[in-house]
């Protein structure tokens, strides 16, 4: 620690007694040498006299706090008057504590030990935060790796997507998988809440939905190995992920199975916004057959719907974070999203999604979202 006092007797007495208690002490006689030393060497604590000629203790503290916080370097001020404005001024400038002269050494020692203990605790918390941030970054990279890297594009169908997490770890997930013979499964899920529990449920559900082959696949009947409908898949997921064992979290789901050869789409929306269908020559419309979210009720029943697709049809599946983006309490809303999708119908699918996201950002006045934002676009070319 550093002891700063213009009185030689005070410096010597305090330094000797602190050293006897096992502290490594450096003592200087004024503000200028103290500032010079603090620029060169690290200290754990400064015991700083207020009343000194030249640069006094308050000015030393003022300059010190420009670069070093009270958490990183505790400063205890020594003053001759415990009720003076100097004490208030020092605390406002960032002093951690103060002692009064004549110094009562047991009081000084207690306050020194308290500040050093707080500093060690803060350092431990900072290190724990650093480790947690490192772990969260690694988890976020893993979660990002689960996103589709190669989007299927064929003569019959195109897919495009955008994914904007609001935190390091997201509760949204989106994917497109080939089932073979011109068939595809796509999904967009949104876990309730935020943080690690929501992200873990998102990752686990994504892993299940990305298993498109083998006996563990939810898209095949385990006995006949025949494809099953989206409603049956939702029922399987509802049994696998009850909210009682997932820290109270559930998830909404938009799940579709597309046969590009037949131009047939089977789809379910479980607690999720219905998709927007945009057909050449028609206004956009929302298809919505409500179902309960996944994991809320064990006996929930699910119903899907079927759409016949024609060349040029586009389908937009999105999370509620997109339409609930707000400005001054007003949400972007489904009506605006329909208008925007219609306005960019002549753009390529990827460019159209960029235009949609840009419109939402322009509406709310920031590119920082309060909730995860996901959108998946599908164009059937026939």
Residues 159 and 270 both lie in one domain: yes
Residues 214 and 313 both lie in one domain: yes
Looking at the domain assignment, is residue 130 inside a domain? no
Looking at the domain assignment, is residue 134 inside a domain? no
**Start-to-end Cα distance in the chain:** 77
Looking at the domain assignment, is residue 135 inside a domain? no
Number of other residues whose CB lies within 10 A of the CB of residue 216:
11
pLDDT above 80 (res 195): no
Give the number of domains in the chain.
2
C-alpha 248 chain-centroid distance: 19
CA separation for the pair 194, 146 (Å, rounded): 18
Residues 350 and 312 both lie in one domain: yes
Helix ranges (H only) for 210-332 are 230-240, 320-323
351 phi, psi to nearest 5 deg: -65, -35
Structure tokens at 371: 């909730």
Residues 85 and 228 both lie in one domain: no
- Residue 135 — pLDDT band, cuts 50, 70, 90? low
What is the mean pLDDT of the segment spanning 306-322?
95
Residues 112 and 207 both lie in one domain: no
Q: What is the pLDDT of residues 353-374, one digit of tens each?
A: 999 999 999 999 999 998 989 9
Q: What is the pLDDT of residues 38-73, one digit of tens each?
A: 999 999 999 999 999 999 999 999 999 999 999 999
Residues 109 and 254 both lie in one domain: no
pLDDT above 80 (res 149): no
Structure tokens at 285: 């419309």
pLDDT of residue 139: 65
Looking at the domain assignment, is residue 136 inside a domain? no
CB 160 within 8 A of CB 377: yes
Looking at the domain assignment, is residue 193 inside a domain? yes
Residues 11 and 84 both lie in one domain: yes
Looking at the domain assignment, is residue 57 inside a domain? yes
CA separation for the pair 170, 200 (Å, rounded): 9
pLDDT above 70 (res 325): yes
pLDDT of residue 83: 61
240 to 216, 243, 245: CA distances (angstroms)? 12, 10, 10
Residues 281 and 341 both lie in one domain: yes
Residues 332 and 282 both lie in one domain: yes
Q: Which domain holds residue 309?
A: 146-380
Sheet holding 183-191, edge to edge: 172-180, 183-191, 251-259, 264-270, 305-308
CATH of the domain at 73: 3.40.50.2300
pLDDT above 70 (res 140): no
Residues 151 and 296 both lie in one domain: yes
Residues 86 and 155 both lie in one domain: no
Residues 56 and 171 both lie in one domain: no
């Amino acid at each position: 620690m550093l002891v700063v006092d213009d009185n030689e007797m005070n410096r010597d007495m305090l330094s000797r007694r602190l050293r006897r208690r096992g502290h490594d002490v450096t003592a200087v006689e004024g503000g200028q040498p103290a500032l010079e030393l603090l620029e060169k060497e690290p200290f754990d604590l400064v015991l700083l006299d207020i009343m000194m000629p030249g640069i006094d203790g308050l000015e030393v503290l003022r300059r010190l706090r420009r670069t070093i916080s009270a958490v990183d370097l505790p400063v205890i001020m020594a003053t001759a008057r415990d009720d003076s404005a100097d004490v208030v001024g020092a605390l406002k400038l960032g002093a951690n504590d103060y002692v009064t002269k004549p110094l009562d050494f047991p009081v000084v020692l207690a306050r020194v030990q308290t500040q050093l203990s707080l500093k060690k605790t803060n350092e431990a918390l900072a290190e724990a935060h650093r480790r947690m941030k490192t772990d969260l970054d690694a988890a976020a990279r893993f979660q990002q790796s689960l996103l589709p890297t190669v989007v299927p594009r064929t003569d019959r169908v195109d897919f495009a997507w955008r994914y904007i997490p609001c935190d390091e770890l997201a509760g949204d997930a989106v994917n497109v998988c080939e089932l073979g013979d011109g068939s595809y499964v796509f999904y967009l899920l949104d876990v309730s809440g935020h943080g690690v529990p929501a992200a873990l449920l998102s990752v686990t559900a994504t892993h299940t939905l990305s298993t498109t082959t083998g006996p563990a696949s939810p898209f095949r009947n385990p006995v006949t190995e025949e494809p099953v409908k989206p409603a049956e898949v939702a029922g399987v997921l509802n049994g696998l992920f009850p909210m009682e064992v997932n820290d109270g979290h559930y998830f909404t789901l938009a799940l579709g199975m597309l046969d590009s050869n037949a131009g047939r789409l089977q789809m379910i929306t479980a607690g999720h916004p219905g998709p927007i269908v945009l057909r050449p020559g028609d206004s956009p419309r929302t298809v919505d057959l409500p179902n309960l979210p996944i994991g809320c009720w064990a006996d929930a029943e699910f119903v899907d719907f079927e759409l016949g697709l024609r060349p040029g049809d586009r389908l937009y599946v999105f999370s509620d974070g997109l339409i609930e983006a707000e400005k001054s309490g007003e949400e972007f809303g489904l009506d605006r999203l329909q208008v925007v999708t219609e306005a960019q119908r002549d753009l390529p699918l990827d460019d159209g999604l960029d235009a949609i996201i840009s419109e939402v950002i322009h509406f709310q006045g920031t590119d920082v979202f309060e909730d995860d934002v996901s959108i998946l676009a599908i164009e059937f070319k026939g």
